[in-house]
Structure 1
C-alpha cells in the first residue's frame, strides 16, 4: 500500500548510487499516553533506505499479537509509529520486525512494553482550603468561616493533597503556585459556579471616568501597562498609533491604543465609555505554574489577561502531570493555555474562546496582536501531553501543537489531540508546525475555519490525521472577503525544513463555502510524503489541488467537486476520476461521488444507506480494526459500526 509513497521518499531523501548495506536494530522505545501509544525503533545501516518495519501489538495477557500500522521511516536512524484506541491504565506489548533486501543482522525482531496512563480517579483531599470574596488573608482558610480572601493566599498555604475551594465571586489577581503536589496527592484549585479569575482593572470595569478627545475617541491615564482591552461588545483591536485608531480600519466593535501612559479608545458605533462595560488588562496570567508537578486547575472562569503581548489564561512553564479541566477561558490576549516544555499535561473539557477576531481584516490580524491561540505549545515540548474534549471557538488559531525543539526525554513528542470541537478560526484550527514527531489528531470536529490542519512545516513526523471532520472550511471572512485560500490540509512553507511523513485516514473534508477546494496543497513546500486513504474530499470548486511538490500516495478516497475540474495536479487539469487515474496512477480504487451524508449542517456526517461511501474503503491494520460490513466505509463516520460512529471512542 505504501509502494509509491516509499519510492518517492527514498528518491527525495537519498543521493544516488549509495552502497547497499544491511539494517541493524538498535534500542526500541515504546511510550503510552491515555488512549494511544507510540513506538520508536532506532536503526543503523541501510544506506539506501529500502528497509521496512512491521508493527504488532497486544494487551498484556492476550495470547496473540495483532497487526498494527507499519512504522514510518522519519530519518536515517529512526522508524516511528502509533497505536490508537487503547484503554487507559493498561499494559501493552509491541513487537517490531525489520525487513531489508540487503539483510537484517542477527536481531531483526525486538519486543517492548509500555503502559497507558490511568484516568484520574475521584479526588479525596487531605485538607480543604476555602477562598471567598468576604474572607480575610489573615485567616488560615481551613473552614468556610475562616476563608481567605485571595486565591494567591490559598496557593501560598497549599501543600500536596489540598483542595483549594474557590467560592463564587470575581478575583482580580494573578496566581503563582509555589509548590507541587504528588501523583497520589495533587494540589487542586476548584471553582464553584460563578468563581471568576479576572485580569482586568477593577476601577475601569466599575465605570471610571474617561476624557473626551473628540471624533469618538476617549482617553484615560491608566497607571499601568496594558496590551489587551475587551468591551461588552467584544475584544477591541489593538492599534499601533493614535492616528490608526482614529481610522478604525479593523471595524467593529472598536479599538484602542496605549502610548505607555494613556489608553485611548474608540467604538465603531460611536458609543461613549459610560455606555459600555470595559475590561482593561492589567495582569498578564491567570495561573502561572512554573516547574511544578501534579497541580490541577478546575471549573473556573478565567478572562481578560494580557498586560503585555503574551497574555495567558493558564501558563504551564516546564510543568508536568498538571491538568486544566472544566474551565471557561475567554478573551485572553495571546493564549488560553500556554504549554512551554513539560510532559504529560492534560487539557480537557474546557471552553476556550475569543470574540471579534474572526470579523477583522486578515491584513491587520495576521502577524499582529490578534494572532492568538486557544492552546499554544512552545520550546522543547515534552512527551505525552493530551488535549481532548474541549470546545475552541473564535481565536485566530485553535491549537499550535508543536514546539521548536525535540523533547528533553526521548525522540518523539507523543502528543494527542482528540475529540475536540473547533469553530470560527480566522486561520488554522490546528497548527501542527515545528518539531512534531508522533503527533496524533483524531476524532476532532472543525467548522467555519480557514484551514483545518496546517502542517507547514511539521518536521520529523509522523503526523497522524485520523477520523476528523472538517466542515465548511473557507466559510470565513479571511477567505470570503479577504481572499485567503482555504484548505482542509495546508502543506506549504517558505522554510527548507521538510514536512515529515503524514498519514491522512478516514477524514471527512466537506465544504459548502462558495468556490472553495476541499484540499489545496499550496506551493512552496518541502516534504517527504503524505499517504491518504478512505477520506472524503468534497469541495464546491475542486476536490483536490496539488501545487506543492510533496510526494503523494492517494487511494480509496471519495472525490466530489462543484466546478469543471475534479483535480488540479501541478499544472494539469483532470475533469474526472478516470482522467486522474490515467494521468497520475493515483486513486486507482477511489470513487467520484457526492458523499450523501445524513445532515452535515446539523453535525451528522453518517453516510446514508444509499451512499456510495459504504464498504468502499480499505482495511488499515491498527486504524480501522473492527469495522462493520464487507469493508470500511469512506469518511470519518462508519455507518454500521458503533465503534466508529463518531470518531474514535
Structure 2
C-alpha cells in the first residue's frame, strides 16, 4: 500500500503543472488577407484548453510611425482568433500586430506581426482587340469591325482571347454563353453590352404569340418541346404549381400560375384572361453567362432575363471562377438566382440591379416550398476568399443575397467576404441571408427596407459575422408578416439545425420600424447559438424594442432601446417596462439609453440624428470601428451626425 502511494504521489504533484501547460497559450501563426476596402487577421494558437486567452490587434499603414488600436480578435474555435480591419484604401499595404495574453502563460513570443495588402481597383480596361456582335451580324464574319459584326455572343466568346472586348450591340440575344477561355490580370476578357443589349432565355415562338389550347376552367395549355421551370407574363412572374388541380385554385394569387408536366405547359391568369391577351416569356435555357473554372472574365452592362429551363435557372453562373467582375447589369426574373457563385476567389459583383416580380405578394409558406424561393445573389459550396458584393440594388426576390457558402474554402480558413453599400428592399424572407460557413464575413453600410428579416444567420457557422452601420427600415412590412403572420426581426438566429451560430458582432446599426405589433429585433427559438455583442445600435420598435426567446448569450450595452408603447423588452416570459427594470432583471444595457431617437426623416431615407437627438455622443468608442467620430463620443446608430458649417463659421 505504501509503495502504491509513493508511485501515485509524484503524479498528483504533477497535475497542477500539467493543467497549467494545457491552459497556457502558444502563438503558432499570424496571417493577413486584404480585400478591396477591408482586411482579415487570422491568429492561430495552441494550448489554452480553458480558452481564457485574448488577442489584441494593432495596425498601421505601412510606413506610418505609430500603431493604432484595432478591434480585439474574436475566438471562433479551439485554435483560431479572427479579426477585421474596416475602411481601408484599395491598393494599399498595412501592418498588423497581435499580442496574445493569457493568465496561464502566453509563450516566449506572445506578439507577432503580419501584413495586409488590399487589392487595387480594376483599372480602366483598354482592349487589345474588339469583337463586335449585332443582331444583323453573321457568324461567318470576322467580328473585328462593326461592319463585320458577328451574330451571336457565343461565337464571339469562342473567338476571344486575353485582352479582348466583346462589344454587343442593342438587340435581343436568345442564347446561353459558355465562356471557353480565361483572361489574365493585365488582359481580362470583357463582355460589354450597349444600352438595349439583352440576353433572354425565353422561347422566341411563345414570346411572339404562339397558339394555346383552352383546357377549361380558365386553364390554357401547350406542348412546348422543351423543359421549363419559369413563366413570366406582362403582369409578372407566374407561380409554379405542382399539379393541374393546384393550378386551378390559384391559391397563391395574382397574377396567375403555371404547371409543367414534362411535356405540356398549362397556365391560368387570375384576371381570367387568355394567353392571346398577354405577353408570355417561357424559359427554355438554363443560364445567361456561364464562367466555369476560369479567371479574369468581366460581364458588364447587359440586361439578362428569363433563364430557368430547370428550377436552378440563373442569369450569371460563376462556377469555381476567380477574379471575375459582374458589373452594371440589369438581371431580372430568373428561376433561381440572378448571380450564382459556386466556389472561387476574389470575385466582384457591383452596381447591378437585380429583381423579380410577383414574389413579394405571394404567401410565404407556398413560396418557401416552391422553386420560386430564389435569391438575387447566392454563394454556394466551398466559396473561396475575398469575394465582394457592393453597391447593387436588389428587390422583390424571395431572399436578397446569400454571401456564405456551405463549407470552408478550399484554401485558407476564413472567407474574408465583404458585403457593403447595397440597397435591398421588398423581400418576403431575408434581405441578407448570411448562413452556412461564414468566417470573417463583413456586412456594412447596407440599406434595407420592407423585408421580413434584415439579417439571417440561422446558422452562420464559425464566425465572426460583422454587422456594422447598416440601416433596416420598416421590417415586417411584408405579406409574410402582415398576412401570413410570421414574426419579423432585424436579426434571425433560429434555424432548427444542430450547427451553432458563431460570434455575431452588431455595431452602429439602425433597426427602425413603424409596422404595427412589430419589434425591432426578436431572438427566436430554436437553434444552437453562441454569442452576440451589441454596441451603439438603435432598436426602435412598435411592440417591444427587443424580444428574447432564444438562449443566445447576449452582451447588450450602449444601445438605444425604444418602443412606441410599453413594455420596452420581453425577456423570455418576463416583460420589462423600462430600462431600469431591464438592468435590474438581466444586467444588460448598463450604459444604454431608452428614448425616441429623433431622426431627420427616416421615411425619406434620412437617418441622421437631429441636433437634439439623444443618440448624439451617447455611444462608446470601438477601436477600428468608429474611431472617426465627430464630437465628444460616437453617436448611436448607423449615421454619425455631422453639423454643416457654413462659410461664415455658423451652423
Q: 1:456 and 2:455 equivalent?
A: no
Q: 3-state DSSP class of the match of 1:364?
A: helix
Q: Work out whether residues 222 and 261 of structure 1, in 8 Å CA contact, stay in contact via their aligned partners in 2.
A: yes
Inter-partner Cα distance in structure 1 for 2:420 and 2:570: 31
**Offset of 1:362 from its aligned partner?**
1.3
CA deviation vs aligned residue, 1:21-66 (integer Å, no higher than 9, x gap):
2100011110000000000000000110000000000111111110
Partner-residue secondary structure (3-state), 2:268: strand
> Which deviations, in whole Å up to 9, do the C-alpha atoms of 1:565-587 show, x marking residues without a partner?
11111221111000001111100
Matched with 1:306 is 308
Quickly say closer, same or farther: Cα 1:438–1:192, change in 2 above 3 A.
Answer: same
Corresponding residue SS for 2:246? helix
CA distance in structure 2 between the aligned counterparts of 1:258 and 1:563, rounded to whole angstroms: 50
Pairing of 1:438-517 with structure 2 (within 5 A): 438-517=440-519
Deviation per CA, 1:478-537, whole angstroms, max 9, x where unpaired?
000000110000111211211111100000000011100100000112222000000000
- CA contact 1:253–1:356 (8 Å) conserved in 2: yes
| Residue matched to 2:197 | 195
Runs of 4+ in 1 over 3 A off after TM superposition: 17-20
Aligned with residue 148 of structure 1, among 147, 150, 153: 150
TM-superposition CA deviations, 1:537-584 (whole Å, max 9, x none): 011101011111111100000011123211111221111000001111
Cα pair 2:23 2:51 within 8 Å, conserved: no
SS at match of 2:450: strand
Q: Between Structure 1 and Structure 2, how many residues are aligned?
A: 626
SS in 2 for 1:583: helix
2:334 and 2:643 map into 1 onto residues whose CA distance is: 41
- 1:213 deviates by 1.1
SS at structure 1 position matched to 2:23: coil
Instruction: Give the equivalent residue in structure 2 for 1:239.
Output: 241
Write the mapping of 1:247-396 to structure 2, written as runs, cut at 5 A.
247-396=249-398
Contact 1:627-1:641 at 8 Å conserved across structures: no
| Counterpart for residue 593 of structure 1 | 595
> What is the Cα deviation at residue 612 of structure 1?
0.6
Is 1:158 the counterpart of 2:160? The answer is: yes
Given that residues 234 and 279 in structure 2 are in contact (C-alpha distance below 8 angstroms), is that contact kept between their aligned partners in structure 1? Answer: yes
Aligned residue runs from structure 1 range 75-154, under 5 A: 75-154=77-156
* Shift, 1:105, TM fit: 0.5
Question: Does the alignment pair 1:45 with 2:54?
Answer: no
Corresponding residue SS for 1:246: helix
Q: 1:641 to 1:552 in 2, by over 3 A?
A: farther
Q: Distance in 2 between matches of 1:214 and 1:102?
A: 79
The more displaced of 593-602 and 557-566 is 557-566
**1:490–1:521 Cα contact (<8 Å) kept:** yes
Q: Determine the structure 2 residue equivalent to 1:563.
A: 565
- Secondary structure of the 1:29 match is strand
User: Residues 365 and 115 of structure 1: is their aligned pair in 2 closer, same or farther, counting only changes over 3 Å?
Assistant: same
- d(CA) in 1 for partners of 2:499 and 2:250? 39
SS, match of residue 412 in structure 2: coil
* C-alpha separation in 1, matches of 2:36 and 2:213: 55
Mapped to 2, the partners of 1:510 and 1:108 lie a distance apart of 43
Any idea what SS the aligned residue of 1:562 has? strand
- What secondary structure, in the 3-state scheme, does the structure 1 residue paired with 2:45 have? strand
TM-score (norm 2): 0.95
1:523 matched to 2:525? The reply is: yes
Question: Is 1:206 the counterpart of 2:208 in the alignment?
Answer: yes
**Secondary structure of the corresponding residue to residue 121 of structure 2:** coil
CA contact 1:434–1:459 (8 Å) conserved in 2: yes
Corresponding residue SS for 2:157: helix
State the alpha-carbon separation in 1 of the partners of residues 201 and 242 from structure 2. Answer: 22
CA distance in 2: counterparts of 1:54 and 1:418, whole angstroms: 26
Question: Counterpart of 2:580 in 1: which secondary structure?
Answer: helix
2: CA distance, partners of 1:362 / 1:553: 32
**What residue in structure 2 maps to residue 647 of structure 1?**
none
1:344-386, Cα deviation, whole Å (9 max, x unpaired): 0000000000000010011210131111000001000000000
Give the number of the structure whose alpha-carbon radius of gyration is greater.
Answer: 2
**Structure 1 position 18, deviation (Å):** 7.0
Tell me the alpha carbon deviations over residues 116-160 of structure 1, each in whole angstroms, 9 at most, x when there is no partner: 000011100000000000000111101001100000000000000
Unpaired runs of 5+ residues, structure 1, are: 1-16, 643-649
Q: What is aligned with 1:174?
A: 176
Give the structure 1 partner of residue 604 of structure 2.
602
- Secondary structure in 1 aligned to 2:543? coil
Contact 2:583 2:590 in 1 (8 A): yes
- CA drift at 1:641: 7.3
Shift of 1:243: 0.7
Matches of 2:412 and 2:58, distance apart in 1: 21
Q: Please say if residues 152 and 175 of structure 1, whose CA atoms lie closer than 8 Å, have aligned partners that are also in contact.
A: yes
CA displacement 1:221-254 (0-9 Å, x = unmatched): 1010000000010000000001110111111000
SS in structure 2 at match of 1:592 = coil
* C-alpha distance in 2 between matches for 1:369 and 1:21: 51
In 2, Cα distance between the equivalents of 1:330 and 1:187? Answer: 24
Q: CA deviation at 1:262?
A: 0.6
The residue aligned with 1:72 is 74
1:159-181 CA-partner distances (Å, limit 9, x unpaired): 00000000000000000000000
Q: CA deviation at 1:401?
A: 1.2
The answer as to whether partners of 1:394 and 1:424 remain within 8 angstroms in 2 is: yes
